[in-house]
Amino acid sequence: MKVVIQRSKESSVSFLDITNKIEYGLVILVGFTEGDDEEKIDYTVNKIVNLRIFDDENGVMNKSLLDIGGSILSISQFTLYADTIKGRRPSYIDAMEPVQAEKMYELFNEKLKKQNIEVKTGKFGHEMTVKITNDGPVTIIIER
């Protein structure tokens, strides 16, 4: 499991005729690979919601998403598992097959919501337009 986390002032995802938006919070790009399971999701969700990457009253990154009452924009992104070693066209052979990856993505989002966090999502397997206003910029990668 690989996630790219970006602290965001405001962000949105558009697909079909739907646009989902968040204000202050995190944009999470998430990809799954073979061997990922619920235990890895639990670890990653706990890590994400408790990461102290938001400023306190002294301008020090000392507050978590839970502390600030922020939202999450969660986007599935199998391209996080792109292998670019050979040739010029990335291989996605390390990405989890789509049917299982979609189940993992849905479970991931449900577990985030159980943390009493507003979670907006993209649409698994669809073309999407994502607009991110990265705050800081702060970008963190978690691979488990």
Residue 44: partners with Cβ closer than 8 Å, 6 or more residues away: 1, 3, 108, 142, 144
User: Per DSSP, which regions of the chain are E strands?
Assistant: 2-15, 18-22, 25-31, 54-55, 61-63, 71-76, 119-121, 129-143
Active-site pick, 44, 79, 84, 133 = 79
> Is 129 an active-site residue?
no
Cite the active site residues: 79
